[in-house]
């Protein structure tokens, strides 16, 4: 039976390269994994005043989807040398109520995706900090910095072979990692 893995995409825009990469990962993932994109764009900014006995429906939906997953892959753009607020908000929503975090112990991996040459290094490493605190064991190798992403897709939206292989080595390593938990 395959493991259900949540994919959190840090860009909310329609033509996002990060979402395109997430979709390629879905297609090429080994049979041991089923990747589901869990949406974060509808989560109200975390506010304890609106959480509690009657949280927003989006919080409940999101928490349930992550809780039902055996692991989480973060596909993140880099915003100002860090990861986007949308991901931080999703982490905060999933971490509450206190003592009921949906993130704990779920094997995680990060791939940063950027049209720039550095491949979102800053985002990739900043995101590791809260994941450590949230008690998520994070895949260390291979590191995945997907730079120059605009050149990886042709006009039909097809990814080139070299990039597909790179993504393949990442997702296969993650499958081995997730199998340990």
Question: Would you say 11 or 95 has its CB closer to ligand FNR?
Answer: 11
**Residue closer to ligand FNR, measured from CB, 15 or 161:** 15
Q: Which is nearer to ligand FNR, 65 or 78 (CB)?
A: 78
Minimal distance in Å, beta carbon 77 to ligand FNR? 3
Residue 81 Cβ vs ligand FNR, minimum distance, rounded to whole Å: 5
Q: List residues near ligand FNR by CB under 6 A.
A: 11, 13, 16-18, 77-81, 114-116, 118, 120
- Specify whether the CB–CB gap between 138 and 177 falls below 8 A: no
Cis bond leading into 97, ω under 30°?
yes
Preceding amide of 14 cis, omega within 30: no
Residue 162: φ, ψ to 5°: -60, -45
In whole angstroms, the minimum distance from the beta carbon of 40 to ligand FNR comes to 13
Q: Which of 125, 106, 79, 115 is nearest to 181 (CA)?
A: 106
The number of C-alpha atoms within 13 Å of 28 and in the hemisphere containing its C-beta is: 20
CB of 1 to ligand FNR, least distance (A): 32
Comparison of 41 and 116: residue with beta carbon closer to ligand FNR: 116
């Amino acid at each position: 039976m395959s493991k259900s893995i949540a994919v959190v995409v840090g860009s909310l825009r329609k033509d996002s390269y990060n979402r395109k990469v997430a979709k390629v990962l879905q297609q090429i993932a080994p049979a041991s994994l089923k990747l589901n994109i869990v949406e974060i764009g509808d989560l109200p900014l975390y506010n304890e005043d609106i959480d509690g006995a009657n949280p927003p429906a989006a919080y409940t939906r999101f928490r349930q989807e992550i809780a039902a997953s055996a692991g989480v892959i973060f596909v993140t753009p880099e915003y100002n040398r860090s990861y986007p607020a949308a991901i931080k908000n999703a982490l905060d929503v999933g971490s509450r109520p206190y003592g009921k975090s949906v993130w704990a112990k779920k094997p995680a991996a990060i791939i940063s995706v950027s049209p720039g040459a550095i491949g979102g290094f800053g985002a990739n490493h900043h995101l590791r900090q809260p994941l450590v605190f949230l008690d998520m064991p994070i895949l260390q190798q291979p590191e995945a910095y997907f730079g120059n992403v605009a050149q990886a897709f042709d006009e039909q939206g097809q990814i080139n072979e070299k990039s597909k292989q790179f993504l393949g080595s990442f997702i296969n390593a993650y499958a081995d990692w997730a199998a340990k938990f």
